[in-house]
């Protein structure tokens, strides 16, 4: 009986890893900017509720502009430590965006971030 439980648990683990790997690889190949990492990552809401969020990580890539081929499903966009000084309309199609990290870039004015209602 214990052996059967172990085999069942092992099968569930393998299936879970396979599903995670398939999900991650489909994000990598579907609308992921070159050099960035696109994957589902854990995210905690301001109310400390655990969620999974479609994340595009373009940190520390020396980018001078926001990548143009971002998926509209992007929820978390990480652009820390680049050389971005302004945006035009790259963020307008990101209706699901819940977190944006522009820290350590070259913005001199908040209007240059380009966020609107």
pLDDT in tens, 24-33: 444 544 689 9
Domain ranges, residue 41: 31-108
Q: Is 81 contained in some domain?
A: yes
Q: Is 18 contained in some domain?
A: no
pLDDT in tens, 49-89: 889 999 999 999 999 999 989 999 999 999 999 999 988 88
Kindly give the pairing relationship between strand 37-44 and strand 50-57.
antiparallel
Give me the mean pLDDT over the 15-23 stretch. Answer: 42
What's the domain count of the chain? 1
DSSP 102: -
Q: Is 26 contained in some domain?
A: no
Choice among 14-23, 37-46, 70-79, 108-117 with the minimum mean pLDDT: 14-23
What is the longest distance spanned by two Cα atoms in the chain?
A: 66
Q: Is 50 contained in some domain?
A: yes
Q: Is 6 contained in some domain?
A: no
> CATH code at 84?
3.80.10.10
Q: Is 116 contained in some domain?
A: no
Q: Give the predicted TM-score (pTM) of the model.
A: 0.70
């Amino acid at each position: 009986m214990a052996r059967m439980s172990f085999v069942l648990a092992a099968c569930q683990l393998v299936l879970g890893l396979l599903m995670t790997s398939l999900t991650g690889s489909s994000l990598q190949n579907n609308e992921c900017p070159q050099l960035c990492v696109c994957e589902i990552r854990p995210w905690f809401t301001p109310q400390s509720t655990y969620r999974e969020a479609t994340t595009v990580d373009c940190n520390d890539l020396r980018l001078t502009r926001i990548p143009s081929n971002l998926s509209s499903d992007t929820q978390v966009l990480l652009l820390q430590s680049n050389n971005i000084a302004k945006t035009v309309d790259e963020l307008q199609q990101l209706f699901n965006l819940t977190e944006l990290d522009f820290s350590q870039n070259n913005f001199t004015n908040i209007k240059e971030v380009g966020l609107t209602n």
